[in-house]
Structure 1
Amino acid sequence: MSTSFEKALTAIDAAHALDPTPHTLPDGTTLPYELHYAQKCTAYLEKHTPTASEHLRLAIRAQHFRRWEVPRASYPLTRPGYHAWRTFLKKRQASLTHDLCLASGCTSETAERVGALIRKEDLNSDEETQILEDVACLVFLDDQLDAFDRSHDEDKIVGILRKTWGKMSSRGHALALEISMGDRAREVVGMALGSA
C-alpha cells in the first residue's frame, strides 16, 4: 500500500471517529456510527473484490464522509426532499474526500477518481462504481434492514428491497444471499424476491 493511501485512510477514519452518534456492537462496546459503517463497507469490499484498487478502497471507506453534519431533517421530509438530500450528500462527500486525498499526498488523478466513485458516476457502465453500489446495498441489508423494518410499513420495505436488489450485480446478489438474517428480515426479503 502506498504512503498516501495509508495517510488518506487514516484521515478518513479520524473524521468518522468524530460522528457523535454511538453504535453498540454485539459485544457491548460502542464506537461512532460512521466509523462502524465504514468498517462494514471495507469488510464487504474484501468479500466482494479482495483485489480492489486503492482508489476504490478509499471511496468505499469514505462514501458517508462527514454525513452526520447534514441530517435528513435538514431537507423536507418528502420524496423530492429525500432525493435532494442524497444528491447534495454525494457531491459534498465526494468534494471533501477529494480534498482530503490531495492533502494526504494522493495524485490528482486518484483524488478525482475517488470523487467520481463517491458520486456514483457511470453506474451502468463502470465496474468499480457498481462494486461500490453493491457494497452499500450489502451493508444496508446486513446492518440497517432490521431498524428500517421497525420504522416503515411492510409494503414500503418490500418496495425498497426490490429496488435495492435491482441495483446490485450478480456478485452482489450472491453475497446478499449469504447474509445471516433474523426470521423477520428473511421474510421480507423473501417477499421482495417473490419467494414468499
Structure 2
Amino acid sequence: MPDSQTRLDQTLAAFDAANAEDPNRETDQGESHPKEWLYGRRMTETLNVFCPDASEPLQLAARCQHIRRWESPRSDYPDGRAGYKKWRSQLALHHGRVAGQIMAEHGYDEETIRRVQDMLIKRNLKRDPEVQTLEDVICLVFLSHYLEDFAQKHNEEKLIDIIQKTWNKMSEKGHEAALKLPLSEPMGRLIHKALGA
C-alpha cells in the first residue's frame, strides 16, 4: 500500500491524465495544452499559494474541479438561466463521479471520496471553511487567467455583473488575495469600477 503522499501524487497524476484527453486546447506562455489539464494545474498552483496547508481532500478537489468537463457540454442543455443552472448542477455531479472512480482505483475510502464530492457540489458553501477555500481559489483562477478572455466577448455592463457575482462568492481572505493579483491595467480598472458600483 503506498503512503499517503505517494497515493495523493498518483491520484493527482491520474486526474491530469484524464484531463489530458480534452480535445479543446488553450495556449499558455506560447505553449498549447489541453484546456482542462491546464485549468487543473492552475487550480493547484493557486491553492498552494492561497492555502499552503490545504488538506488532502481539498488538494484533490482543486485538481479535479473541471475533470473531463467537455463530456457534459453546455449545448446539451436548454438556453437561459434555468438551463444553465441545471447544466452546472449536473456538471458538478459528473465531476464527482469521475473523480470518485479514480480515487477508488487509488485506494481512497468512501468517506474521503464523499468529502471531495461534497466540495465539488459546494455543499455548505459559506459554512464549510474548506468549501469556501475551494470557491475562493476558483474565483482567483478565473480573475487571474480567464477574465481577460471574457472581456473580449462581453460588454462592460455584463463584465461588471460577472465580477460582482464572483466577488460575492468569495471570503474576506479571498478578497484580499484578489486585490493583490498582478492583473493588466484594464482588468484592474474594471474590477475597481465593479466594486465601486
What is the TM-score normalised by the length of structure 1? Answer: 0.95
Q: In the alignment, does 2:25 pair up with 1:5?
A: no
Letter in 2 for 1:124: K
Root mean square deviation of aligned Cα: 1.2
What is the TM-score normalised by the length of structure 2? Answer: 0.94
Letter in 2 for 1:125: R
Letter in 1 for 2:20: A
Q: How far apart, in 2, do the equivalents of 1:41 and 1:3 lie?
A: 20
> Counterpart of 2:28?
25
Q: How far apart, in 2, do the equivalents of 1:124 and 1:172 lie?
A: 12
> Counterpart of 1:191?
193
Structure 1 residue 82: Cα displacement: 1.1
Larger CA deviation: 39-48 vs 71-80? 71-80
Letter in 2 for 1:20: P
The answer as to whether partners of 1:5 and 1:106 remain within 8 angstroms in 2 is no
> Counterpart of 1:125?
127
Q: 1:136 aligns with which of 135, 138, 143?
A: 138
Structure 1 residue 2: Cα displacement: 2.9
Structure 1 residue 174: Cα displacement: 1.2
3-state DSSP of counterpart to 2:49? helix
Structure 1 residue 91: Cα displacement: 1.0
Q: 2:154 aligns with which of 133, 152, 155?
A: 152
Q: 2:171 aligns with which of 169, 172, 178?
A: 169
The answer as to whether partners of 1:65 and 1:97 remain within 8 angstroms in 2 is yes
Letter in 2 for 1:151: K
Where does structure 2 lack aligned partners over 5 or more consecutive residues? Answer: none
1:142-187 CA distances to partner (integer Å, 9 max, x unpaired)? 1110111111121111011111111101111111111111222112
Q: 4+ residue runs of structure 1 moved beyond 6 angstroms?
A: none
1:34-82 CA distances to partner (integer Å, 9 max, x unpaired)? 1111111101101111011111100000010100111222212211111
Q: How far apart, in 2, do the equivalents of 1:160 and 1:81 lie?
A: 18
> Counterpart of 2:89?
87
Q: How far apart, in 2, do the equivalents of 1:25 and 1:2 lie?
A: 28
Structure 1 residue 139: Cα displacement: 0.6
**Number of positions where the alignment pairs a residue of Structure 1 with one of Structure 2:** 194
Q: How far apart, in 2, do the equivalents of 1:139 and 1:44 lie?
A: 7
Structure 1 residue 126: Cα displacement: 0.3
Letter in 2 for 1:164: T
